[in-house]
Structure 1
């Protein structure tokens, strides 16, 4: 039986702060996470071979016929079919990027233990370039096309639930798919620009304006009058209001009130307060530079539009103003008037007036309360992860 494993390549540190708390393959781009995309294509569930700091939360499963896939690679039907044909001892690469390999049980065990194993015969993939994540900005850059791909994957052979006649639809309703349990009344959806997918038990309150491609995840809620522009993903159990444009919310995060986000990536268990705004365009319309964890300096992005990147468990209070290209780490708490700096390290507490260290015990207590509101418990493994990220990010915080 095929055993599917997603491995983190050397791109993982380039995807911080999002990968402090998840393997690369657990990132969401489009409707689904990368792991979920491959699982749909291959018809089998997978596990992760990831950084040591994450292995308690994401243990790897082993088998005798192991298909290892680069967790940063976004699949297509054609690519999935090629990868499925690999046999132990073979691999696919493209322009130096290892896309996938197949290992027997002994070879996978040796890989996990850091030991040597038999040589692998690598074949060069022909055809269109393999799309893969190299930085957080790729998540929102690729998101519109990934929504389209995931939409086609998820609706094949299925019929949408029937929407209420109180809604207004512009364009072909074949571009709309509602899972069972969706509540949506008196909203306007423009389907000419791309598909709109709304997951199980999602709630879209009155007056919302949606312009596809858009995904609203299972149990998510759009607040009254929300304006959701193209290429946006609202992850499972997120609550979103105000104005968002080309934003990816992972899951269990809230931006429930007025305020703007654009060209942004928001992790899990985040909260963005009322009337908080995050710029995605510089006043001089120039290229945006953002913090790079590998070079440990600000780096050019080649992008004119780049908004907020926010790690898991971080919070922005009401009326915060975030500059273009701000990167907020894991479990930071930002508040106060003025524009804080554009790199806010993990476990930072403060704002434009300065930051101090957010004590680990205080951060854990907040996370415990936040997760309990969604009937989730902060596990011992979660607590260990917080401690490891606290230590790993210490060098970025002021003395």
Structure 2
């Protein structure tokens, strides 16, 4: 069967991260949602997403296709139900479609045209930006169990102190020296060629993806994920950092999500708790308003290619768009539109040509080419988000 991951109803609520990727390319736990589905299904998946993203994330269409809504995460019960779908059937939970079988996935979907198959088990889903960090522990444990089942960890150096080593798994090439890894509260997964430098204190759950680095003396509390080729240091608590992003110096990052190609300047900090201990409200692109998260702890949501200078301070529940450059002292406002340049004293538009120069240099340092496809995506994001840049 041919499997396609569709953005579904929750794409807007997952902005700014879905400005530059399909919903199923969000990383939560160890793997992206798409990689989870591919492992569970034993088959490749393609994407049904926004037209401007489709060149980078193409769709593969066959005579018969199963379209899975990408905000839902797989487990054995859901996978079994999806594999049992027949042509013209839709799997439905409380009137929300989980998946459907179709000959033409590009055709407009109406559940009334399908035989509805009720799904009666619980589902694990990501429907808001804050779900990415707040549900990271559950996703991390599920991925750890899936990836390590029946396998033996590579041996770690005797210079380290390992607490509950049975919950620690290192792939070949992972390097750790003179550090403390405590897997009492959750598993610790170290991918191929990842590195934890001397003097680091790691409390699981924790995932360090391929070629990612924890620099000397870091203090990391779980559940936290550092994506491929990420670099981190300082103090980090319950955060998800997508691939190629850096928080490479002292400073605090808590209950936060960083997209790809972000950089947090030295001694920058975010607040994750209001002084009055009230529940945190955060900007929601779907409603274009500050919505209640229901969480007491909620920090920074930062889209791809955004940067902050040294000593930047972020208020509780701040949302930063794509390609934002923050460099003036003080607390910037808690919603910063994409392609903004400035800080607490005010912002101006960050023009694409200038932003592209920075992206090209940064990506080249990691051996990645900033090509025309990337330019077209970011240009589209610039055009799409102009209504919020009122300077």
For the superposition of Structure 1 and Structure 2, which TM-score range results when normalised by the shorter chain? over 0.9
Map 1:81-160; keep pairs closer than 5 Å: 81-104=80-103, 107-108=104-105, 112-114=106-108, 119-127=113-121, 129-160=122-153
Deviation at 1:117, TM superposition (A): 11
- Residue 32 of structure 1 corresponds to which residue in structure 2? 31
CA shift, 1:156, in A, is 1.1
Which residue of structure 2 lines up, in the alignment, with residue 340 of structure 1?
332
Displacement of 1:147 in angstroms is 0.5
Note the C-alpha offset of 1:64.
Answer: 2.1
Pairing partner for 1:211 from 198, 203, 211:
203
CA–CA distance in structure 1, aligned partners of residues 367 and 359 of structure 2: 12
SS at match of 1:19: helix
- Cα deviation, 1:260-307, whole Å, max 9, x if unaligned, reads 011101000000010000110011111111111122221211111000
Tell me which residue corresponds to 1:18: 17
1:61-82 CA distances to partner (integer Å, 9 max, x unpaired)?
Answer: 0112312111000111221122
Within the candidate set 154, 163, 166, 2:159 is matched to: 166
**Is contact 1:355-1:398 (8 Å) kept?**
no
Looking at structure 1, the residues matched to 181 and 95 of structure 2 have their Cα atoms a distance apart, in angstroms, of: 43
- TM norm structure 2: 0.98
- Structure 1 runs (4+) greater than 3 angstroms displaced: 113-118
In structure 2, how many angstroms separate the alpha carbons of the residues matched to 1:283 and 1:196? 32
Q: Distance in 1 between matches of 2:386 and 2:297?
A: 30
Q: 2:283 aligns with which of 276, 291, 298?
A: 291
- Report the RMSD for the aligned CA atoms in angstroms: 1.3
Q: CA deviation at 1:239?
A: 0.2
Deviations 1:298-330 (A, max 9, x none): 121111100000000000111000000000000
Unaligned runs of 5+ in 2: none
Does the 8 Å CA contact 2:90/2:111 hold for their aligned counterparts?
no
Count of residue pairs the alignment pairs up: 391
Q: CA deviation at 1:5?
A: 0.3
Q: How many angstroms apart in 1 are the aligned matches of 2:246 and 2:327?
A: 16
For residues 198 and 45 of structure 1, the distance between their equivalents in structure 2, rounded to whole angstroms, comes to: 24
Tell me the equivalent position of 2:42: 43
Residues 9-65 of structure 1: per-residue CA shift (max 9 Å, x gap): 121011110000000000011001111111110100111000112111111001123
Pair 1:102–1:324, CA change in 2 (3 A) = same
Deviation, structure 1 residue 115: 8.5
